[in-house]
């Protein structure tokens, strides 16, 4: 079920909220069960059979944590990791692996959001092993943590240590509820108004034949850069807003990444929950930057970005995209002192250009397609045709809004916070009008 669907906005969400704040208002324990049941229903809406995968993940990791809490066994920790990543491999990578090996292909449908809820489950059990959190003995409460529908299918990835205190000790206030509504409306607008319109241009450019021009290749790449940001950050805003409506606080997942003046800064601002997960559960356990040799440091960095690429999907483009960022970050570490001396504006532009090239690799269907697209961008075709003028004229509003909304120009402005109470309903009405009309409504991160 999409947040940006009439089913969710007009039926699912109102029903949950009405029950949550009326029938179960003074029954906090039962409220959690209510949220768990509706979370499972939310996940089962599209493909009911995959809710069994979710339930197996919850039950298995509940048992793993109980065993590990009792005896601190590394063997059981390894078994837990094998179980979770084997489950992820079968559903997400087995078909592609068989294709590469030339074997008979078994087409396995990808359960939505499996990477997100698997990472949450793994982090919980590891935290129990590290004694960073007590084991959860209530299966329903652990189930709520892993399946909580606002962030279930596309994050942000929530740490159990940040969530556990809110399971039975959260406060629902009018202020938090209204803030949640506004945040949801803004996220919906990002997704439906900006991302979906940018997707029309990006799909046209990346799906075009060899007659695509240099100018249109750049327009398509920039459109995709806006699409993936507003698609994913919009979803995160909706998730954070929905959580607030039920009294939960989720950590931020984006912090205006396109204002970054280095690749290092970009990854501190983009998909923060994923970067933090890899830092805490892969990079630091490997030794991080506190190692005796530079070679080991670069090896640690390599492993993190190799896994980051693989996490995003079963395609060589994602693997190369991850290693591309490993190379960029390694270079930044080498030239750090010289790099900071460069003019800030130049650093910002160079960072945006490198990120844009990365998004072309990420978006392309194959490495060959990515290479051909980049060749065209950098002069491998005619410069422009009528398409360029048409798309710039037709979508200029969305490009301007996308540019402004990707900067913190309005952030923390008291006047903007005040008028947001009036802007949010307008954004909601416009977004719903797009949804009702059946406008193009893809969602990139459902694939992860």
| Catalytic residue list | 312
CA distances from 173 to 201, 247, 323, 425 (A): 42, 7, 45, 20
Contact between 168 and 32 (Cβ < 8 Å) = yes
Distance spanning both ends of the chain, measured CA to CA: 15
Q: Is the pTM of this model over 0.75?
A: yes
Closest CA to 433 of 16, 4, 2, 12: 4
Contact between 144 and 35 (Cβ < 8 Å) = yes
Residue 422: count other Cβ atoms within 10 Å of its Cβ: 8
Per residue of the chain (448 residues), give pLDDT as tens.
Answer: 788 899 999 999 999 999 999 988 888 889 999 999 999 999 998 778 999 999 999 999 999 999 999 998 899 999 999 999 999 999 999 988 888 887 877 788 888 889 999 999 999 999 999 999 999 999 999 999 999 999 988 879 999 999 999 998 888 899 999 999 999 999 999 999 999 999 999 999 998 665 788 999 999 999 999 999 999 999 999 999 999 999 999 999 999 999 999 999 999 999 999 999 999 999 999 998 888 888 999 999 999 999 999 999 889 999 999 999 999 999 998 887 676 677 788 899 999 999 999 999 999 999 999 999 999 999 877 777 777 888 888 999 999 999 999 999 877 677 777 788 889 999 999 999 989 887 666 666 555 5
- Preceding omega of 71 cis (within 30 degrees of 0): no
Burial 203-239 (b: 16+ CB within 10 A, else e): bbbbebeeebbbbbbbbbbbbbbbbbbbbbbbbbbbb
Structure tokens that stand for 267 in this block: 């990854």
Contact between 121 and 134 (Cβ < 8 Å) = no
């Amino acid at each position: 079920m999409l947040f940006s669907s009439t089913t969710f906005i007009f039926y699912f969400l109102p029903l949950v909220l009405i029950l949550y704040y009326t029938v179960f208002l003074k029954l906090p324990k039962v409220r959690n069960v209510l949220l768990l049941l509706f979370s499972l229903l939310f996940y089962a809406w599209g493909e009911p059979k995959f809710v069994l995968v979710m339930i197996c993940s919850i039950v298995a990791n509940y048992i793993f944590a109980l065993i590990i809490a009792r005896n601190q066994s590394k063997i059981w920790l390894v078994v837990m990791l094998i179980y979770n990543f084997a489950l992820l491999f079968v559903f997400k990578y087995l078909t592609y692996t068989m294709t590469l090996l030339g074997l008979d292909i078994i087409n396995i449908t990808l359960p939505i959001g499996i990477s997100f809820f698997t990472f949450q489950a793994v982090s919980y059990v590891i935290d129990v092993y590290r004694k960073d959190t007590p084991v959860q003995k209530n299966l329903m409460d652990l189930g709520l943590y892993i399946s909580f529908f606002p962030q279930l299918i596309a994050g942000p990835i929530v740490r159990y240590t940040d969530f556990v205190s809110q399971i039975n000790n959260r406060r629902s206030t009018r202020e938090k509820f209204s803030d949640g509504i506004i945040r949801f409306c803004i996220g919906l607008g990002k997704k439906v108004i900006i991302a979906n319109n940018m997707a029309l241009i990006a799909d046209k450019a990346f799906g075009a034949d060899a007659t695509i021009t240099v100018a249109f290749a750049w327009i398509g790449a920039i459109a995709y850069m806006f699409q993936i940001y507003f698609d994913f950050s919009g979803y995160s805003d909706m998730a954070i807003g929905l959580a607030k409506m039920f009294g939960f606080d989720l950590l931020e997942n984006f912090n205006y990444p396109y204002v970054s003046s280095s690749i290092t800064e970009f990854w501190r601002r983009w998909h923060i929950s994923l970067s933090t997960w890899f830092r805490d559960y892969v990079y630091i356990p490997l030794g991080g930057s506190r190692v005796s040799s530079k070679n080991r440091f670069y090896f640690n960095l390599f492993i993190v970005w190799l896994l980051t690429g693989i996490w995003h999907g079963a395609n060589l483009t994602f693997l190369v995209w991850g290693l591309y960022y490993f190379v960029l970050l390694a270079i930044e570490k080498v030239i750090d002192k010289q790099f900071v001396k460069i003019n800030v504006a130049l650093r910002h532009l160079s960072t945006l250009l490198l990120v844009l090239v990365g998004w072309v690799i990420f978006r392309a269907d194959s490495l060959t397609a990515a290479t051909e697209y980049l060749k065209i961008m950098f002069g491998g075709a005619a410069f422009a045709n009528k398409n360029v003028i048409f798309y710039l004229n037709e979508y200029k509003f969305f490009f301007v809004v996308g540019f402004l909304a990707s900067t913190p120009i309005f952030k923390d402005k008291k006047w903007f916070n005040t008028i947001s109470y009036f802007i949010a309903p307008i954004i909601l009405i416009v977004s719903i009008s797009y949804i009702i009309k059946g406008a193009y409504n893809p969602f990139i991160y459902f694939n992860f």
